[in-house]
Amino acid sequence: MTTAKTAPPPIAMLAELTHRCPLSCPYCSNPIEMALQEAELSTETWTRVFQEAADLGVLQLHLSGGEPASRRDLTDLIAAAQKAGLYTNLITSGIGLSEKRLRDLDAAGLDHIQLSLQGTDAAMADEIGGYRGGFDRKMKVADWITKIGFPLTLNAVLHRRNLHQLPDMLKMAETMGARRIEVATVQFHGWALKNRDALMPTLEQAKETTRIVTEARLRLKGRLVIDYVSADYHSKYPKRCMGGWGSTGLNVTPDGQVLPCHAAQTIPHLTFDRVQDRPLADIWYNGSAFNAYRGTDWMAEPCKSCDRKTVDFGGCRCQAMALVGDASATDPVCQKSPHNAALQAQANTHAAHDRASFFYRSAPGKTPAPTE
């Protein structure tokens, strides 16, 4: 049984430095209600939080957003994380990075870059990101990353509109000298949940993606690591979300709330501590949100008596909340869930929409509006 007393320390922390971003991807995992720039943590507070994270046992720091390059103090933040002894990974669209800025980040100690890919050509990538010229700029940034010699991971979110580009994405990763590519079929949280009609892959696409990834893993063994997140609604079992709630990682939002996963704010009965009010270690071990679904004691049937309960920990709490209205329910993606048949039917209905337009992510503080 995992309790506050027996929980291991977290391995990784995701620091969401800002919700600002020049792109507007319709699958963005940022919340619908985003933090304003005025509410963002200061350089000094992040510096303290990085040290607290390292003292707690965190090894890897993922710096994301929004677009982390929107923070003018990004180089100072990398230097602070490096000083705390954390391995730093910058998750970026590339927009906002120049060659000089990348060289400064290198000098400050940045260890790794994860570059997002919306598509393999300007027409696709700029439409998905809602940012004209974004693809060309990203390709320049990729060249600078290679020239400077940063270890590079490409991060491709796949959905019904761009799944056919997967073979080209794998070729791009090889050409750019990436060590790893994350092929993630879209997960329906945040803005993606609003865009299921436009983004839901068909069952055939989901199967074909798995086939392509399996073949590529064999062909590229030793040259390119492929991390694969399969299509959620078309799976038999759910994913082990966050490695298990409160077991391996934590997220800090731009305004300092500490979350067990990036979508946890969608569970209305949870309350989240802030780094401004309580030490990170105390939040990790004793915070009510972290202990709400830690371990297996909270489970109901069918998870409670299932032999996979320590394999997937009942799947995603936020997905159970969004689709079933109960965060302690079995993730409806699981074939043992009483809601699974309805989910499959819903998935087919969403995937059959051939004219759905994107509902783009808006900027913090702006009212979202549907866009063609």
Chain residues binding ligand SF4 by CB under 6 A are 21, 23-25, 28, 30, 65-67, 93, 116, 237-238, 302-303, 306, 308-309, 312, 314-315, 330-331, 334, 336, 361
Distances (CA, A) of 349 to 233, 353, 370: 12, 7, 20
**Shortest Å distance, C-beta 236 to ligand SF4:** 9
**Shortest Å distance, C-beta 57 to ligand SF4:** 27
C-alpha triplet 326, 189, 312: angle, nearest 5°: 65
DSSP assignment of 173-235: HHHHT-SEEEEEEPP-SHHHHHTHHHHPPPHHHHHHHHHHHHHHHHHTTTT-EEEEE--STT-
Contacts of 249 (CB under 8 A, 6+ apart): 10, 11, 12, 13, 14, 242, 243, 261
**Shortest Å distance, C-beta 199 to ligand SF4:** 12
**Shortest Å distance, C-beta 366 to ligand SF4:** 13
Rounded Cα gap, residues 10 and 57, in angstroms: 6
Instruction: Between 283 and 334, name the residue whose CB sits nearer to ligand SF4.
Output: 334
- CA torsion, points 260, 265, 267, 270, in degrees to nearest 10? 70
**Shortest Å distance, C-beta 312 to ligand SF4:** 4
**Shortest Å distance, C-beta 116 to ligand SF4:** 5
Instruction: Between 83 and 308, name the residue whose CB sits nearer to ligand SF4.
Output: 308
Instruction: Between 48 and 317, name the residue whose CB sits nearer to ligand SF4.
Output: 317
CB-CB neighbours of 331 under 10 Å: 28
Instruction: Between 59 and 237, name the residue whose CB sits nearer to ligand SF4.
Output: 237
**Shortest Å distance, C-beta 20 to ligand SF4:** 9
Instruction: Between 192 and 213, name the residue whose CB sits nearer to ligand SF4.
Output: 192
Rounded Cα gap, residues 308 and 202, in angstroms: 27
3-state helix, strand, coil in the chain (%, to 5): 40, 15, 50
Q: What number of H helices and E strands is found in the chain?
A: 14, 9
Instruction: Between 93 and 257, name the residue whose CB sits nearer to ligand SF4.
Output: 93
CB-CB neighbours of 322 under 10 Å: 17
Q: Where on the phi/psi map is residue 96: left (φ > 0), alpha (ψ -120 to 50), or beta?
A: left
Instruction: Between 121 and 215, name the residue whose CB sits nearer to ligand SF4.
Output: 121
* DSSP element (H, E) containing 52: helix 43-56
Instruction: Between 240 and 350, name the residue whose CB sits nearer to ligand SF4.
Output: 240
**Shortest Å distance, C-beta 282 to ligand SF4:** 30
